[in-house]
Amino acid sequence: MTITDSRLTDSTEVASAQAPTGERVATRRRYLMCEPRYFAVEYAINPWMDPTQPVDRDLAVRQWRSLAETYRSLGHNVSEIEPVDGLPDMVFAANGATVAGGRVYGARFKYAERHDEGPAYLDWFKNAGYRDAHEATFVNEGEGDFLVVGDMVLAGTGFRTEPAAHAEAAEVLGLPVVTLDLIDPSYYHLDTALCVLDSQTVAYFPEAFSTQSQIRLEELFPDAVIADADDAAVLGLNAVSDGLHVVLPIEATALAEKLRARGYRPVPVALSELRKAGGGPKCCTLELRS
């Protein structure tokens, strides 16, 4: 799918993801991605990972390239970080940092297997000219658990990111942070249970959250799109939206219909190999917000 310039607006020039007429508008985004050149499932640090199951790395690369080309065909800019041999999960770029207003809050991974990814991503930002790039004091896994919605950040905790990192992120990014508690280990990162659709709207799977967090989400987003268990189970909420197009796993059919009914344009993609490590479109995509 290709979108013309008349339908695509720079995100820096758009105050809302909806036009005055109510028609949804796509905003041009900048993404950082990492080719799965060394992708493998060699250890198990989440319920999706099974080292005894074979992984087709060539297929993973083809699927990843298709995702990157999908973004480009929609008018978005995609930068790439060089993958590092020995870091099979580095393909999940969203975990590498959180970026808002040109400020970078670096990642500090919980598990030793991924520890070296944090410095690798932070080095990329410094080499790319980001002067306001901060090394984290507390464990956090980037946009896996920090999702920017308008002028605030939704922050997940319960499995990976430490609650203390939420305050640190607020200080670094200069945005208020809302803490959300994850309770289902299958949804170990916030971006597996919640997707930001535009500056005012999200989609999420309620059962992934504590009762108190469900109440908070209902208060903040009374018009949210609610995903069912089947679509959550194929990581349907690990999706990327530009305010109009929503790039999501091809298996999340019911969620796609709900989005279409709300005026969004679902863009299904196949990422079956990367899902063997618990990843989907959003896991592969770190947004560079200037």
Strand, helix or coil for residue 121 = helix
Catalytic residue among 34, 76, 166, 283: 283
283 is an active site residue: yes
User: Is the distance from CB of 225 to CB of 255 less than 8 angstroms?
Assistant: yes
Q: Residues 256, 248: contact at Cβ < 8 Å?
A: yes
Burial 22-36 (b: 16+ CB within 10 A, else e): eebbbbbbbbbbbbb
Catalytic annotation, pick one of 76, 134, 189, 245: 189
DSSP state of 24: B
Instruction: Give backbone dihedrals phi and psi of 2, rounded to 5 degrees, phi first.
Output: -120, 135
Active site residue 115: no
Asked if residues 284 and 67 have their Cβ atoms less than 8 Å apart, the reply is yes
Give catalytic residue positions: 189, 283
